[in-house]
Homo-oligomer: A and B are copies of this chain.
Amino acid sequence: MAHRLAELAEIVDARIVGDPDTAIEDVCTLEQGRPGCIAFLANSRYRRHLAGTKASAVLVREQDADEAGNTALLIVEDPYLAYARIAALLHPEPEVPAGIHPTAVVAEDARIAPDAWIGPHVVIESGAGIGGRCRIDAGTYVGRDARIGEETRLCPNVTVMHGVTIGRRCIVHSGAVIGSDGFGLARDGERWVKVPQLGSVRIGDDVEIGANTTIDRGAIEDTVIEDGVKLDNQIQVAHNVRIGENTAIAGCAGISGSADIGRNCMLGGGVGVVGHLSIADGCVVTGMSMVTHDLREPGVYSSGLPAIPNEKWNRIAARLRHLDDLARRLQRLERKLQDED
* Residue ranges of A at the interface with B (Cβ–Cβ < 8 Å): 27-29, 32, 43, 45, 78, 80-81, 83-85, 87-88, 91, 101, 103, 105, 119-121, 123, 137-139, 141, 143, 155-157, 159, 161, 171, 173-175, 177, 180-181, 183-188, 190-196, 198, 206, 208, 210-212, 214, 216, 220-221, 228, 230, 232-234, 236, 238, 245-246, 248, 250-252, 254, 256, 263-264, 269-270, 272, 274, 276, 284-293, 295, 299-317, 319-324, 326-327, 329-330, 333-334, 336-337
Asked whether B308 lies within 8 Å of A319 as measured between CB atoms, the reply is: no
Asked whether A276 lies within 8 Å of B228 as measured between CB atoms, the reply is: no
Asked whether B123 lies within 8 Å of A186 as measured between CB atoms, the reply is: no
Provide the bound-state CA to CA distance between A334 and B332, in Å: 10
| Interface CB pairs A-B, < 8 A, 9 | A28-B220, A78-B187, A119-B123, A143-B156, A183-B250, A191-B246, A233-B238, A236-B252, A252-B272
Provide the bound-state CA to CA distance between A77 and B58, in Å: 57
Stoichiometry, as copies per complex, reads: 3
Asked whether B305 lies within 8 Å of A320 as measured between CB atoms, the reply is: yes
| Contact of A194 (CB < 8 Å), options: B141, B208, B329 | B208
Q: Which residues of B contact A29 (CB under 8 A)?
A: 220-221
Q: Apart from A143-B156, A173-B177, what are 17 other A-B pairs with CB-CB below 8 Å?
A: A29-B220, A81-B193, A120-B123, A156-B159, A252-B254, A252-B272, A254-B269, A289-B307, A291-B306, A295-B307, A299-B310, A301-B309, A301-B310, A312-B324, A316-B321, A326-B326, A333-B334
Q: Which residues of B contact A316 (CB under 8 A)?
A: 320-321, 323-324
**Given A173-B177, A175-B159, A307-B289: A186 in contact with B83 (beta carbons within 8 A):** yes
Asked whether B221 lies within 8 Å of A211 as measured between CB atoms, the reply is: no
Q: Which residues of B contact A315 (CB under 8 A)?
A: 324
Asked whether A123 lies within 8 Å of B198 as measured between CB atoms, the reply is: no
Q: Which residues of B contact A228 (CB under 8 A)?
A: 190-192
Asked whether A157 lies within 8 Å of B180 as measured between CB atoms, the reply is: no
Provide the bound-state CA to CA distance between A222 and B179, in Å: 31
* Pairs A-B, 10 closest by C-beta atoms: A300-B310, A180-B211, A159-B174, A292-B306, A81-B186, A177-B211, A289-B307, A302-B313, A141-B156, A123-B138
